[in-house]
Structure 1
Amino acid sequence: MTAERHNVVVALSGGVDSSVAAALLLEAGHRVQGVFMITCEQGRHAQAEAEEVAGRLGIHLTVLDLRDDFAQILAYFFGEYAKARTPNPCVMCNRLVKFGKLWDFARQAGAEFLATGHYARIITTDGQAGLYESVTPFKDQSYALSMIDRNVLAHVLLPMGEHSKDQARQIARRLALGTEAKAESQEICFIPDDDYAAMLEQHHPELIRQGEIVDSSGTVLGTHQGIHRFTIGQRRGLRVAMGKPYYVIGLDAGSNTVILGPKEEVMHRRLIANRANWLIEPPQSSFHASVKIRYNDRGKPATVHPTEDAVHVEFDEPNMAITPGQLAVFYTDEGPLRRVVGAGWIERADG
């Protein structure tokens, strides 16, 4: 953020992070208005909370019904599971809805910036905006923002990137926002009770289909009632007793088969990712980076090899549970900072 006054639209969810982000922008002197997104019926209960926050802050709140736009996120979510891939709907929503449709609204409303409560940082150097980790790495959300359009970065404000969650609650309490005691949201917004399998089966009952559980040699170990209930690296809930820990090492949508193996068979040195999104000028040669392969990952050192139609990643050491459908996110060091330079959707582990 700069010391200048700007017109800013803040995405208000009714929670502590977005409410504090809006308050910090107001304290900095910006002209702020809020927007609440209706993306699904399950999220509508938060509208009253967002309206209360806007009232306490003294800002105008627009309610946008984006359920039609969000339908593509649901289609993607269901489609990935049908292909035995593990989707990341929050990443897709950030790209297409929050920093897509919502940024379109902000521009039409005369705003120069769109702000959210994400824990990450936008830092501008030599006129170029970059995405960086939050000051509190264990709360960092830059992974989930890595697929947004590079051209939008210069118009994004992320006030929470300079604060910890504890500080956010303290600020909310100091300003009497009424959100300081709100519980941390751990669920995907459109899935009731975080039971994704039940929702999948409700909308696509054809996924409930018995198949075989086998080991990597093809020996049948048991049966399952739906491949959508498994993900690469899963250890619990396999209902197969092997005498030592076994993990899901593969899912075959074509044969409706779950493949299990010991830990060494879920470890891989390489992956291939596609549909890369670069937040810098697209690199023309290989580079070293820390690569995250899931949201809670801290990243592992690797060499990233960009090609014309894919990105090949080779880790310095074997990495566990490389999962098709998730993101590989590439971080480079800039002094004490870690910058997101790009990301790609994991297609497969490659040896």
Structure 2
Amino acid sequence: MEKVVVAMSGGIDSAVTAYLFIKEKRAVEGVFFILFDEPPNIELAKKTADFLRIKLHIEDLREDFKRYVINPFFERYKKGLTPNPCILCNKYIKFPALKKIADKVSANFFATGHYARVLKKNDKCFLLKGIDKKKDQSYFLYGINRLFLNQLLLPLGEYTKQQVKEIAQQAQIPSKVAEESAEVCFLKDKRYYEILKPASYGPIIEASTGKIIGQHRGIHLFTIGQRKRLGISSPYPLYVVKIEPAINAVYVDSKEKAFMKEFYVNQLNWLVEPETNSFTCDVKIRYAMNPEKAFVIIIDKDRVRVTFDEPQFAPTPGQSAVFYNDEVVLGGGIITETVQGF
């Protein structure tokens, strides 16, 4: 009998993932990761595992999570970058830990409740978008080791979120529908900028004129495309269009100045090795956007230049750009620099 190790969070997605494997007559074991103090839903994860009659491993990963996710998160904000901790967590914490546990218990596969798919074709494995376009989470998975795709199962990629809810309800699984949130799990109810104090003050500069029009209380308070919390009165809406750590400056201007076509990406991870040094593909520069056509030029093994066909709103250093060929995730990396016309 094939054995699968499933990452269990106490939420509905991971619970249904385990349930689907049990229905397929596979041997299933769960694992709950303790990533920070007072983790939510640990008791619910235990209750769900008991309900499904599967063994639940509890793995304390707080030390690695702090090193690879929490500390870099705050350090990058201090440098005027906007990090994505979920991508770091998947790359450095969750998937390596799942692989390790699967090997330890002699499991054939490991799985998560992400809405994405793995396609095995001609002895090759590909990461695909989930069929639920509104819920597709392939963006967050581009950074994982591509060798993991050989053992990775993502059953929820074949379902919509509504279907998953219905399965849980019909099976009476004691799990929780996670609240859709853009907040960072380890911050709990706090904002990141409430923790990063104090910081040095600096100028807020109008990009089109070069004039200093205000003062900020730290570049960590800002991200490209931001409109709120600027503290400046203006005859037109102002948006953050650039952050310059070298001079501790924040540049603002009209919304149109936040649209850009060209930027650079490094820390690349390819799930499909490029066959040429330049190619056209679809690119996402944030999770909640539709992929847009772009031309990618490989500069070296860890740096590419991306040029959108049409300007896109707020490519943001520190965020990830993910490359797609239709449904297939080619890879991605971290946006390091944008090319602006001012």
Using the size of structure 2 for normalisation, the TM-score is 0.95
Q: Does 1:210 align with 2:201?
A: yes
- Give the counterpart letter for 1:320 in structure 2: F
Counting only pairs closer than 5 Å after superposition, residues 1-351 of structure 1 correspond to structure 2 as 5-42=1-38, 44-72=39-67, 73-179=69-175, 181-199=177-195, 201=196, 205-206=197-198, 208-216=199-207, 217-308=209-300, 309-333=302-326, 338-351=327-340
1:80 Cα deviation from its structure 2 partner: 0.7
**Other structure's SS at 1:302 match:** strand
Deviation string, structure 1 residues 308-327 (Cα, Å, up to 9, x no partner): 23111111111110100111
Report runs of 4+ in structure 1 exceeding 6 Å deviation: none
- Structure 1 distance, partners of 2:124, 2:338, is 33
- Structure 2 distance, partners of 1:282, 1:94, is 23
- Bigger drift between 301-310 and 78-87 goes to 301-310
2:45/2:175 contact within 8 Å kept: no
- Structure 1 distance, partners of 2:176, 2:47, is 14
2:285/2:320 contact within 8 Å kept: yes
1:104 Cα deviation from its structure 2 partner: 1.3
**Other structure's SS at 1:61 match:** strand
**Other structure's SS at 1:179 match:** coil
Gaps of 5+ in 1: none
1:124 Cα deviation from its structure 2 partner: 1.0
Deviation string, structure 1 residues 142-164 (Cα, Å, up to 9, x no partner): 00001101111111111111111
1:237 Cα deviation from its structure 2 partner: 1.9
- Give the counterpart letter for 2:334 in structure 1: W
Deviation string, structure 1 residues 43-101 (Cα, Å, up to 9, x no partner): x2311010000001000001000001101211110111111000011001001111112
- Structure 1 distance, partners of 2:7, 2:107, is 13
Q: Percent identity?
A: 40
1:350 Cα deviation from its structure 2 partner: 2.2
Deviation string, structure 1 residues 120-155 (Cα, Å, up to 9, x no partner): 011111111101110011101000001101111111
- Structure 1 distance, partners of 2:72, 2:255, is 30
1:170 Cα deviation from its structure 2 partner: 0.6
Tell me how many residue pairs correspond in the alignment.
337
**Other structure's SS at 1:45 match:** coil
**Other structure's SS at 2:277 match:** coil
Give the CA RMSD over aligned residues.
1.4
- Give the counterpart letter for 2:311 in structure 1: P
- Structure 1 distance, partners of 2:246, 2:104, is 46
- Structure 2 distance, partners of 1:6, 1:280, is 27
Using the size of structure 1 for normalisation, the TM-score is 0.92
1:88/1:325 contact within 8 Å kept: yes
2:115/2:138 contact within 8 Å kept: yes
1:30 Cα deviation from its structure 2 partner: 1.2
When residues 322 and 183 of structure 1 are mapped into structure 2, their CA distance, relative to the original with a 3 A threshold, is closer
